[in-house]
């Protein structure tokens, strides 16, 4: 925020200058933190879960506004003993408030990119947190909360105070999947709809429409980075790490661009209307039954 208000120039893509924790040869001897913390800017934190706790190693995001913060996803692990997501988030909020000499009356809203277990497992740690709104990740709750139930094709807004997220329903990987756009940073948070990895698709037509919507959105909004929630590819085009691997020494970057959405579009077109598994340079299209 930094005291800004009113008109603001287009956001600039800041470099994401970090070596993410990426597991280790022996999970037992892993000495990385449970959650890696990276301040993208003064008001935006990217977190990554340690692969030794859960191979999914999802990314989480904490966005600060003047009135409230939003946490996108709560990690793949329920137990605060193994993944103290609440304690880490509490510490980050204390840090942010401390920089502004503020202490109380600040709200946390817990939201999700989608409903899969590796993105919601830490929810229970926030149930008894004061000044907290936990929006469970099921589609009905999410759509009601954002006002998408009556018009799933709408783009809704969620105000953090000086920072208003835009919210799009983007089903395909999961019926409850939503994509968040943050005009402050210009980041598009795509959850598991787009990331460098296996793009599991349970609803092929819905996924195709969601990709088209995101391409259209990127054409009309300044998007600096696209951030998904996992990294599963190696730096070798078309080659992923095995499922459940706990050591990924050769990871490509987390951040992607709108051009990758175009690449997904082209990939879907190349495969055609009948779902099929096929590897492309930066992702693998992976049809899956919804079970």
Rounded least distance, CB 41 to Zn ion, Å: 27
Rounded least distance, CB 119 to Zn ion, Å: 6
Site residues for Zn ion, window 97-136 (CB under 5 A)? 116
Name the segment binding Zn ion (CB under 5 A); options: 129-137, 139-147, 188-196, 248-256: 188-196
- Please identify, using beta-carbon distances, which residue of 22 and 116 lies nearer to Zn ion: 116
Contact pick of 34, 56, 123, 192 for Zn ion (by CB under 5 A):
192
Rounded least distance, CB 195 to Zn ion, Å: 10
Q: Name every residue whose Cβ is closer than 8 Å to that of residue 224 and which is 6 or more positions away in sequence.
A: 11, 12, 13, 14, 185, 186, 187
Site residues for Zn ion, window 234-263 (CB under 5 A)? none
Return the C-alpha torsion angle 83, 85, 90, 93, nearest 10: 130
> Is the Cβ–Cβ distance between 71 and 61 less than 8 Å?
yes
Task: Sketch the per residue contact string, 62 through 81, with Zn ion: x for CB under 5 A, - otherwise.
Answer: --------------------
Rounded least distance, CB 200 to Zn ion, Å: 7
Q: Does 203 bind Zn ion (CB under 5 A)?
A: no
Site residues for Zn ion, window 139-158 (CB under 5 A)? none
Record the tokens describing residue 170, joined without a space.
Answer: 């983007």
- Cβ neighbours, 10 Å, residue 103: 9
Report strand pairing: 107-111 vs 68-72: parallel
**Whole-number Å distance between alpha carbons of 212 and 210:** 5
Rounded least distance, CB 113 to Zn ion, Å: 8
**Whole-number Å distance between alpha carbons of 256 and 37:** 19
Q: Does 230 bind Zn ion (CB under 5 A)?
A: no
Q: Does 86 bind Zn ion (CB under 5 A)?
A: no
Helices (H), the chain: 85-99, 117-120, 139-146, 204-220, 258-271
Query: Cα-flanking dihedrals φ and ψ of residue 261, to 5°?
Result: -65, -40
Number of residues interacting with Zn ion: please give it, by CB under 5 A: 2
Give the HSE-up count for residue 159: Cα atoms under 13 Å, Cβ half-sphere: 3
Rounded least distance, CB 83 to Zn ion, Å: 17
Q: Does 22 bind Zn ion (CB under 5 A)?
A: no
Rounded least distance, CB 116 to Zn ion, Å: 3
- Please identify, using beta-carbon distances, which residue of 23 and 228 lies nearer to Zn ion: 228
Residues making contact with Zn ion (CB under 5 A) = 116, 192
């Amino acid at each position: 925020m930094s005291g800004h208000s009113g008109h603001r120039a287009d956001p600039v893509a800041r470099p994401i200058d970090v070596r993410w924790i990426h597991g280790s040869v022996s999970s037992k001897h892993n000495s990385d933190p449970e959650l890696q913390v990276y301040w993208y800017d003064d008001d935006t934190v990217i977190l990554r879960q340690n692969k030794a706790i859960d191979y999914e190693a999802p990314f989480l995001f904490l966005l600060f506004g003047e009135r409230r913060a939003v946490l996108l996803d709560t990690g793949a692990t329920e137990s605060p003993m193994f993944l103290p997501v609440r304690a880490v988030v509490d510490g980050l909020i204390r840090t942010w408030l401390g920089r502004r000499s503020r202490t109380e009356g600040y709200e946390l809203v817990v939201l999700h990119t989608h409903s899969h277990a590796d993105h919601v497992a830490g929810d229970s740690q926030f149930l008894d947190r004061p000044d907290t709104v936990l929006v469970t990740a099921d589609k009905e709750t999410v759509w009601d909360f954002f006002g998408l139930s009556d018009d799933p094709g709408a783009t809704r807004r969620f105000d953090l105070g000086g920072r208003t997220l835009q919210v799009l329903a983007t089903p395909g990987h999961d019926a409850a999947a939503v994509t968040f756009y943050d005009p402050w940073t210009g980041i598009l948070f795509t959850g598991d709809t787009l990331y460098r990895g296996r793009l599991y698709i349970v609803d092929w037509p819905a996924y195709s429409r969601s990709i088209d919507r995101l391409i259209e959105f990127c054409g009309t909004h300044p998007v600096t980075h696209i951030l998904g929630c996992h990294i599963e590819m190696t730096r070798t085009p078309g080659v992923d790490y095995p499922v459940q691997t706990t050591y990924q020494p050769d990871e490509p970057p987390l951040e992607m661009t709108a051009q990758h959405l175009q690449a997904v579009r082209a990939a879907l077109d190349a495969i055609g209307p009948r779902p099929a598994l096929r590897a492309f340079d930066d992702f693998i299209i992976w049809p899956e039954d919804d079970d």
